[in-house]
Amino acid sequence: MMSGLARHVLSLALFVVLPMLAGSAAGAEPPVPSVRIVQSHPTLFGQLAGGEAVYVRLAYTSETPLRFRIEGYAEGERVTASQSNPAPIYPAGEGEALVWMVYAPPAAIDELKVVMLDIRWQPLAVKVARASLRWEKDVPATGPKQPEWLSRLNGEQQALAALPEPVLDDVPEGLIPDEWVLPLAWGGVLAYLVLQVPMAIWFTGSWRWAARGPLIVTVPLFLYTIGALSAGSSLWPLALLLLAPFVLVYLVVLLAVRLLMLRAAT
Protein backbone atom coordinates (compact mmCIF):
# COMPACT_ATOMS: atom_id res chain seq x y z
CA MET A 1 0.00 0.00 0.00
CA MET A 2 1.40 3.35 -0.94
CA SER A 3 1.67 6.11 1.65
CA GLY A 4 -0.44 9.24 1.68
CA LEU A 5 2.53 11.31 0.70
CA ALA A 6 3.22 9.08 -2.35
CA ARG A 7 -0.39 9.46 -3.48
CA HIS A 8 -0.05 13.23 -3.24
CA VAL A 9 3.11 13.14 -5.38
CA LEU A 10 1.37 11.01 -8.01
CA SER A 11 -1.65 13.29 -7.89
CA LEU A 12 0.53 16.31 -8.56
CA ALA A 13 2.37 14.59 -11.42
CA LEU A 14 -0.90 13.57 -13.06
CA PHE A 15 -2.29 17.05 -12.58
CA VAL A 16 0.67 18.45 -14.49
CA VAL A 17 0.62 15.89 -17.30
CA LEU A 18 -3.09 15.57 -17.99
CA PRO A 19 -3.53 19.29 -18.75
CA MET A 20 -0.55 19.00 -21.12
CA LEU A 21 -2.47 16.40 -23.05
CA ALA A 22 -5.53 18.63 -23.00
CA GLY A 23 -3.57 21.81 -23.73
CA SER A 24 -4.43 23.63 -20.50
CA ALA A 25 -2.27 25.13 -17.75
CA ALA A 26 -1.40 23.36 -14.53
CA GLY A 27 -1.06 24.64 -10.95
CA ALA A 28 1.04 23.66 -7.93
CA GLU A 29 0.22 22.31 -4.50
CA PRO A 30 1.24 24.25 -1.40
CA PRO A 31 4.43 23.10 0.36
CA VAL A 32 4.22 20.25 2.86
CA PRO A 33 3.77 21.70 6.38
CA SER A 34 6.51 21.34 8.98
CA VAL A 35 6.32 20.65 12.70
CA ARG A 36 8.80 20.25 15.52
CA ILE A 37 8.46 19.00 19.07
CA VAL A 38 9.29 21.79 21.51
CA GLN A 39 8.87 20.01 24.85
CA SER A 40 6.73 17.50 26.70
CA HIS A 41 5.15 16.99 30.11
CA PRO A 42 6.22 14.77 31.66
CA THR A 43 9.42 13.71 29.91
CA LEU A 44 9.22 11.19 27.06
CA PHE A 45 11.42 8.78 29.03
CA GLY A 46 10.11 7.23 32.24
CA GLN A 47 7.12 5.65 33.95
CA LEU A 48 3.57 6.98 34.18
CA ALA A 49 0.65 6.12 36.38
CA GLY A 50 -2.42 4.46 34.96
CA GLY A 51 -4.61 7.09 33.30
CA GLU A 52 -1.81 9.69 33.28
CA ALA A 53 -1.35 11.51 29.98
CA VAL A 54 1.84 12.63 28.27
CA TYR A 55 1.49 16.06 26.66
CA VAL A 56 3.60 17.23 23.72
CA ARG A 57 4.02 20.87 22.72
CA LEU A 58 4.37 21.46 18.97
CA ALA A 59 5.49 24.38 16.83
CA TYR A 60 4.26 24.28 13.23
CA THR A 61 4.38 26.17 9.96
CA SER A 62 1.76 25.60 7.28
CA GLU A 63 0.12 27.41 4.38
CA THR A 64 -3.14 25.56 5.05
CA PRO A 65 -5.13 24.72 8.21
CA LEU A 66 -4.04 21.55 10.00
CA ARG A 67 -5.13 18.86 12.42
CA PHE A 68 -2.69 16.96 14.66
CA ARG A 69 -2.84 13.37 15.92
CA ILE A 70 -0.38 11.47 18.12
CA GLU A 71 0.30 7.73 17.95
CA GLY A 72 2.42 5.42 20.08
CA TYR A 73 4.58 2.59 18.68
CA ALA A 74 6.53 -0.32 20.17
CA GLU A 75 9.06 -2.25 18.07
CA GLY A 76 7.63 -0.75 14.89
CA GLU A 77 4.01 -1.69 15.61
CA ARG A 78 1.35 0.79 16.60
CA VAL A 79 0.11 0.35 20.16
CA THR A 80 -3.65 0.81 19.99
CA ALA A 81 -6.32 1.21 22.66
CA SER A 82 -5.04 4.62 23.69
CA GLN A 83 -6.94 7.82 24.40
CA SER A 84 -5.67 10.96 22.72
CA ASN A 85 -6.43 14.59 22.10
CA PRO A 86 -9.26 15.82 19.92
CA ALA A 87 -7.98 17.03 16.57
CA PRO A 88 -9.49 20.47 16.04
CA ILE A 89 -8.46 22.59 13.08
CA TYR A 90 -5.47 24.84 13.77
CA PRO A 91 -5.15 27.95 11.57
CA ALA A 92 -2.62 28.32 8.77
CA GLY A 93 0.62 30.19 9.38
CA GLU A 94 3.06 29.77 12.25
CA GLY A 95 1.69 28.61 15.58
CA GLU A 96 1.71 26.14 18.43
CA ALA A 97 -0.43 23.06 18.98
CA LEU A 98 -0.93 20.43 21.67
CA VAL A 99 -1.20 16.65 21.38
CA TRP A 100 -1.55 14.15 24.20
CA MET A 101 -2.18 10.47 24.76
CA VAL A 102 -2.72 8.06 27.63
CA TYR A 103 -2.79 4.27 27.95
CA ALA A 104 -4.35 1.98 30.49
CA PRO A 105 -1.62 -0.03 32.26
CA PRO A 106 0.29 -2.06 31.54
CA ALA A 107 1.47 -0.48 28.29
CA ALA A 108 4.77 0.67 26.82
CA ILE A 109 5.96 2.57 23.75
CA ASP A 110 9.43 3.24 22.35
CA GLU A 111 8.42 5.74 19.66
CA LEU A 112 5.73 8.31 19.06
CA LYS A 113 4.54 9.85 15.83
CA VAL A 114 2.85 13.20 15.36
CA VAL A 115 0.69 13.03 12.24
CA MET A 116 -0.26 16.23 10.42
CA LEU A 117 -3.59 16.04 8.61
CA ASP A 118 -5.59 18.39 6.44
CA ILE A 119 -9.09 19.42 7.43
CA ARG A 120 -10.46 16.38 5.59
CA TRP A 121 -8.37 14.11 7.87
CA GLN A 122 -5.98 13.18 5.06
CA PRO A 123 -2.37 12.64 6.32
CA LEU A 124 0.15 15.17 5.03
CA ALA A 125 3.36 14.45 6.94
CA VAL A 126 4.66 12.68 10.05
CA LYS A 127 7.11 13.74 12.77
CA VAL A 128 8.80 10.82 14.55
CA ALA A 129 10.37 11.04 18.02
CA ARG A 130 12.09 8.46 20.17
CA ALA A 131 10.47 7.70 23.51
CA SER A 132 10.59 5.19 26.34
CA LEU A 133 7.35 5.35 28.29
CA ARG A 134 5.64 2.74 30.44
CA TRP A 135 2.22 2.98 32.07
CA GLU A 136 2.19 0.98 35.32
CA LYS A 137 -0.54 0.40 37.88
CA ASP A 138 1.55 1.05 40.98
CA VAL A 139 3.42 4.17 39.82
CA PRO A 140 2.35 7.43 41.56
CA ALA A 141 1.12 10.24 39.31
CA THR A 142 3.34 13.28 38.83
CA GLY A 143 0.70 15.51 40.46
CA PRO A 144 -1.74 18.19 39.29
CA LYS A 145 0.88 20.92 38.74
CA GLN A 146 1.18 21.78 35.05
CA PRO A 147 3.61 24.09 33.23
CA GLU A 148 2.27 27.38 31.90
CA TRP A 149 2.49 26.32 28.27
CA LEU A 150 0.37 23.23 28.91
CA SER A 151 -2.44 25.16 30.58
CA ARG A 152 -2.37 27.75 27.79
CA LEU A 153 -2.33 25.28 24.88
CA ASN A 154 -4.92 23.06 26.54
CA GLY A 155 -7.27 26.02 26.82
CA GLU A 156 -6.65 26.98 23.19
CA GLN A 157 -7.29 23.41 22.06
CA GLN A 158 -10.57 23.22 23.94
CA ALA A 159 -11.66 26.53 22.42
CA LEU A 160 -10.84 25.29 18.91
CA ALA A 161 -12.60 21.97 19.56
CA ALA A 162 -15.74 23.88 20.54
CA LEU A 163 -15.93 25.60 17.17
CA PRO A 164 -18.28 24.05 14.58
CA GLU A 165 -16.63 21.80 12.03
CA PRO A 166 -16.62 23.13 8.45
CA VAL A 167 -19.04 21.68 5.94
CA LEU A 168 -16.53 19.51 4.06
CA ASP A 169 -18.63 19.41 0.91
CA ASP A 170 -17.88 23.12 0.55
CA VAL A 171 -14.14 22.58 0.91
CA PRO A 172 -12.23 22.29 -2.41
CA GLU A 173 -11.19 18.75 -3.22
CA GLY A 174 -7.62 17.74 -3.95
CA LEU A 175 -6.19 18.06 -7.43
CA ILE A 176 -7.31 14.53 -8.23
CA PRO A 177 -9.52 12.37 -5.96
CA ASP A 178 -7.40 9.86 -4.06
CA GLU A 179 -9.31 6.90 -5.45
CA TRP A 180 -8.44 7.99 -9.02
CA VAL A 181 -4.71 8.50 -8.53
CA LEU A 182 -3.43 4.93 -8.78
CA PRO A 183 -5.79 3.82 -11.59
CA LEU A 184 -4.80 6.87 -13.66
CA ALA A 185 -1.11 6.31 -12.94
CA TRP A 186 -1.22 2.64 -13.94
CA GLY A 187 -3.31 3.61 -16.97
CA GLY A 188 -0.45 5.89 -18.01
CA VAL A 189 2.00 2.98 -17.77
CA LEU A 190 -0.27 0.75 -19.86
CA ALA A 191 -0.86 3.46 -22.46
CA TYR A 192 2.89 4.03 -22.71
CA LEU A 193 3.53 0.33 -23.34
CA VAL A 194 0.73 0.19 -25.94
CA LEU A 195 2.40 2.99 -27.89
CA GLN A 196 6.05 2.18 -27.20
CA VAL A 197 6.15 -1.37 -28.51
CA PRO A 198 4.57 -0.86 -31.98
CA MET A 199 6.23 2.52 -32.55
CA ALA A 200 9.68 1.11 -31.73
CA ILE A 201 9.08 -1.76 -34.19
CA TRP A 202 7.10 -0.27 -37.06
CA PHE A 203 8.69 3.18 -37.41
CA THR A 204 11.61 3.36 -39.81
CA GLY A 205 14.75 5.42 -40.19
CA SER A 206 15.28 8.34 -37.84
CA TRP A 207 11.67 8.05 -36.66
CA ARG A 208 12.44 4.61 -35.23
CA TRP A 209 15.38 5.96 -33.26
CA ALA A 210 13.24 8.81 -31.97
CA ALA A 211 10.54 6.34 -30.92
CA ARG A 212 13.10 4.19 -29.13
CA GLY A 213 14.50 7.14 -27.18
CA PRO A 214 12.40 6.62 -24.03
CA LEU A 215 13.72 3.04 -23.74
CA ILE A 216 17.06 4.45 -22.59
CA VAL A 217 15.33 5.48 -19.37
CA THR A 218 12.36 3.14 -19.07
CA VAL A 219 14.18 -0.19 -19.49
CA PRO A 220 16.55 0.44 -16.51
CA LEU A 221 13.59 1.84 -14.58
CA PHE A 222 11.54 -1.31 -15.18
CA LEU A 223 14.49 -3.39 -13.92
CA TYR A 224 14.84 -1.16 -10.86
CA THR A 225 11.09 -1.46 -10.19
CA ILE A 226 11.26 -5.25 -10.32
CA GLY A 227 14.21 -5.22 -7.93
CA ALA A 228 12.41 -2.88 -5.51
CA LEU A 229 9.35 -5.15 -5.57
CA SER A 230 11.52 -8.19 -4.86
CA ALA A 231 13.14 -6.34 -1.94
CA GLY A 232 9.72 -5.68 -0.41
CA SER A 233 9.70 -1.89 -0.82
CA SER A 234 6.24 -0.39 -0.32
CA LEU A 235 7.06 2.34 -2.87
CA TRP A 236 8.37 0.01 -5.58
CA PRO A 237 6.21 1.41 -8.44
CA LEU A 238 6.52 5.11 -7.56
CA ALA A 239 9.35 6.11 -9.94
CA LEU A 240 7.75 4.20 -12.81
CA LEU A 241 4.33 5.74 -12.18
CA LEU A 242 5.82 9.23 -12.07
CA LEU A 243 7.82 8.86 -15.30
CA ALA A 244 5.18 7.09 -17.42
CA PRO A 245 2.99 10.17 -18.07
CA PHE A 246 5.94 12.16 -19.41
CA VAL A 247 7.22 9.50 -21.82
CA LEU A 248 3.61 8.92 -22.87
CA VAL A 249 3.27 12.60 -23.80
CA TYR A 250 6.51 12.35 -25.77
CA LEU A 251 5.26 9.38 -27.79
CA VAL A 252 1.84 10.94 -28.38
CA VAL A 253 3.46 14.09 -29.75
CA LEU A 254 5.89 12.08 -31.86
CA LEU A 255 3.06 9.98 -33.30
CA ALA A 256 0.96 13.06 -34.04
CA VAL A 257 3.82 14.76 -35.87
CA ARG A 258 4.54 11.61 -37.88
CA LEU A 259 0.89 11.22 -38.91
CA LEU A 260 0.66 14.87 -39.91
CA MET A 261 3.78 14.59 -42.06
CA LEU A 262 2.44 11.45 -43.73
CA ARG A 263 -0.85 13.16 -44.47
CA ALA A 264 0.93 16.23 -45.88
CA ALA A 265 3.01 14.00 -48.17
CA THR A 266 -0.05 12.35 -49.75
**Is the pLDDT at 93 greater than 70, yes or no?**
yes
Give yes or no: residues 158 and 50 share one domain: yes
pTM equals 0.54
Range of the domain at 128: 34-170
Q: What is the pLDDT of residue 101?
A: 94
The total number of structural domains in the chain stands at: 2
Instruction: Please answer whether residues 121 and 67 qualify as being in contact, where contact means their C-beta atoms are separated by less than 8 angstroms.
Output: yes
Tell me the pLDDT tens digit for each residue of 206-222.
999 999 999 999 999 99
Give yes or no: residues 50 and 161 share one domain: yes
Last residue of a domain, one of 149, 170, 191: 170
Give yes or no: residues 111 and 217 share one domain: no
Least Cα distance to 106 among 55, 47, 56 occurs for 47
Least confident residue range of 7-16, 30-39, 160-169: 7-16
Last residue of a domain, one of 135, 170, 205: 170
pLDDT band for position 191 (cuts 50, 70, 90): very high
Give yes or no: residues 201 and 254 share one domain: yes
Using omega within 30 degrees of 0 as the cis cutoff, is the peptide bond preceding 237 cis?
no
Q: What is the pLDDT of residue 181?
A: 74
Last residue of a domain, one of 153, 170, 187: 170
Between CA 66 and CA 57 the distance in angstroms is 15
Torsion of CA 241, 246, 248, 251, to 10 degrees: -150
Give yes or no: residues 38 and 123 share one domain: yes
Between CA 232 and CA 169 the distance in angstroms is 38
What Å distances lie between residue 12 and 112, 115, 121, CA to CA? 29, 21, 19
Give yes or no: residues 238 and 120 share one domain: no
pLDDT band for position 239 (cuts 50, 70, 90): confident
Phi and psi at residue 175, to the nearest 5°: -55, -45
**Is the pLDDT at 143 greater than 80, yes or no?**
no
Give yes or no: residues 9 and 130 share one domain: no
Comparing 55 with 8, the larger pLDDT belongs to: 55
